[in-house]
Homo-oligomer: A and B are copies of this chain.
Amino acid sequence: MDYFDHNATTPVDERVLEAMQPYFRHQFGNPSSLHQYGRLARSAIDQARHQVAELVNVSPSQVIFTSGGTEANNLAVQGSIAANPACRKVLFSSIEHASILSQAGVLEQLGCQVSRLPVEATGLLSVNALEKIVQADADENVLISIMTVNNETGVIQDIASLSRRIRKKHEHAVIHSDASQAAGKMSLDFAHLGVDMLTLSAHKMYGPKGAGALILSHGCQLEPVLWGGGHERGWRPGTENVPAIVGFGMAAQLAMDELQVNRQRLQRLQTLFENSLRENIPDAQIFSDKAPRVPSTSCFSIPRIHGEAMVMQLDQHGFAVSSGSACESGTDEPSHVLTAMGVDPDIALGAVRVSFGVYQSESDIDRFCDTLVREVRNLRCSDMAF
């Protein structure tokens, strides 16, 4: 398998797809219907809600299904601001996904002041900066969003410790974390993380596109962003995407059951890849390699080689990698994540993100590394290096 872009999206696990199939055909009912077709669909969603709840160790009533991570992030941020009129101070880590950062404009229109929390060169949030900013905010209501795992570098923030620090200064802070890239790669305990809201996305964990969730703490104040027929206890209207939600549930179950095996496998792949990279391309710079990272992601830059050129060159040999976030592909701007880490723009434009999957083997890595090394040499001898 020549797909090394699992942070962009994953294939659907065969067991997940099998679980989904009946809900397109014979059990296709609308969960709001009172008859047997409706009840079967409702009970399938209930089961999925249990499975997703277990993944993060909450009760099913804390799970709101959405159409995906982006919608969950919007519901978390816009929904909190709508529900807390006194909260007009918003802090985003500077390495958040576009589905968080691009809400700044609409929040500012609502009279919010939106600031970005800086990160260190490692990619970890600057605790000093956080403490200063939060201290200054001690008298105000504040909403803070810090992602659990970064989609470009794989860096794991210590959300539990950051939440404690924030709450020490500011008991009533509303804390959200986007865990889209964390689920399935590390254990997640909602209460331990100490947040009020957590985002999950099915298609980043071998589930289908079209399903995500926002996990809520008990008593969390939230208004809906979309309005309609009162689905998901009023927080997310629209006929539930039953097959996708069932698939999400199964993916959550598998992610939980197979976490240890998958982590060990991914760790072996990452180590093999990065050792080979260091050995064969000694001037390659692996980002955040001193910080805790999930084992699925290696982000690196090779001096004088443009990341997108590398992506296209590898693609010609059938290998799929990325030059950063899929959502920002083709923009020709250096990654905002690497820029926030203080990476030189020339180096940042060279970034290549390789993200491994649980169906891959050591021999997949070997074949990939052979091609990578050869293509780096070719690119360096050609006009495409700069």
Contacts and interface: CB of A to CB of B under 8 A. Distances in A.
Contacts of A25: 11-12, 14, 17
Nearest to A330: B34
Nearest to A4: B35
A70 interface: yes
Contact of A226 (B32, B74, B327): B74
A292 interface: no
Interface in A303-343: 308, 311-312, 314-315, 318-323, 325-330
A210 B208 CA distance: 11
A229 B327 contact: yes
A35 B315 contact: yes
A37 to B, nearest CB: 5
Interface string A237-277: 11111111000000000000000000000000000000000
A220 to B, nearest CB: 19
Interface string A9-27: 1111010010010001110
**Max chain B Cβ within 10 angstroms of own Cβ: one of A26, A33, A308, A322:** A33
A208 B329 contact: no
A327 B228 contact: yes
A228 B99 contact: yes
A328 B33 CA distance: 9
A35 B322 CA distance: 8
A99 B11 contact: no
Contact of A99 (B9, B238, B244, B315): B238
Contacts of A43: none
A215 B11 CA distance: 30
A28 B5 contact: no
**Max chain B Cβ within 10 angstroms of own Cβ: one of A11, A25, A237, A314:** A237
A227 B34 contact: no
Contacts of A327: 32, 228-231, 237, 239
A184 interface: no
Nearest to A25: B11
A323 B32 CA distance: 12
Nearest to A212: B238
A29 B1 CA distance: 13
B208 A239 contact: no
A150 interface: no
A73 interface: yes
B238 A325 contact: no
Given A10-B28, A32-B329, A229-B327, A241 B5 contact: no
